A and B are shown apart, each in its own frame.
Chain A
Amino acid sequence: DTGVSQNPRHKITKRGQNVTFRCDPISEHNRLYWYRQTLGQGPEFLTYFQNEAQLEKSRLLSDRFSAERPKGSFSTLEIQRTEQGDSAMYLCASSLGGRGNTEAFFGQGTRLTVV
């Protein structure tokens, strides 16, 4: 297993367009997380899945954002009608699940630029 994989690595889009990112977690990991990171800041939590169930969504996740994890495997994050403020690094992480003592592993991120 090569770790958490994210595609694409970079995305430039025009304001108002829709974009979709993909995350492939480490194969045996039940939990999958999405974070957003802007320049000079730490990552901020967006949402997470336990298998295929989306268990928590941050208030940062406006109705233009939707995430899915069909069959509990890969996940997609879609942003509709992109705005310049959506420009950020979108990071995916996975862990074995359960609370307390599991290490999170991150992908290389997708850098989104909205022009």
Chain B
Amino acid sequence: KQEVTQIPAALSVPEGENLVLNCSFTDSAIYNLQWFRQDPGKGLTSLLLIQSSQREQTSGRLNASLDKSSGRSTLYIAASQPGDSATYLCAVEDNQGGKLIFGQGTELSVKP
């Protein structure tokens, strides 16, 4: 059974810092991995999708990497801003039918 874990559960940093969020999964037979952002009480906003054949994806200040063999992904946020404060979720698309299996999220707070 696929399990997804995110570390740390919460993170507080001063504005301007670069930071890394971690995601690990137990079964390397995934089709893709997706990072999402969730603001309090809201739905999920897709940030980056990494296909199983890819090693990384970049969008603006965000860079996500994927190492399938070790079951790990990282989300790198450069020059963090208070507006980046949110919960970040990673999810893997399972190899059985396309549903996403989520980690518990990392709650990020960027202080001005």
Chain A residues at the B interface, C-beta cutoff of 8 Å: 4, 6, 31, 33, 35, 40-45, 48, 55-56, 91, 93, 95, 97, 99-109, 111
Q: List residues of chain A with CB within 8 A of the CB of B95.
A: 99
Is B98 close to A, CB under 8 A? yes
- Asked if B4 contacts A33 (CB within 8 A), the reply is no
Q: List residues of chain A with CB within 8 A of the CB of B93.
A: 99-100
A45 contact from B32, B43, B100, Cβ within 8 A: B100
Chain B residues at the A interface, C-beta cutoff of 8 Å: 4, 31-32, 34, 36, 41-46, 49, 51-52, 89, 91, 93, 95-105
CB-based nearest A residue for B98: A99
- Asked if B43 contacts A91 (CB within 8 A), the reply is yes
Q: List residues of chain B with CB within 8 A of the CB of A95.
A: 98
A105 to chain B, nearest CB (A): 6
- Asked if B43 contacts A33 (CB within 8 A), the reply is no
Known: A55-B97, A100-B51. A42 touches B43 (CB 8 A): no
B99 contact from A45, A91, A101, A102, Cβ within 8 A: A45
Q: List residues of chain A with CB within 8 A of the CB of B4.
A: 42
- Asked if A43 contacts B31 (CB within 8 A), the reply is no
Q: List residues of chain B with CB within 8 A of the CB of A41.
A: 104-105
Given A6-B43, A95-B98, A109-B43, 7 more A-B residue pairs with CB atoms under 8 Å apart are A35-B100, A41-B104, A43-B89, A45-B100, A48-B98, A91-B44, A104-B100
For the complex, what is the distance from the CA of A43 to the CA of B92, rounded to whole Å?
Answer: 12
Known: A100-B31, A101-B32, A109-B43. A44 touches B102 (CB 8 A): yes
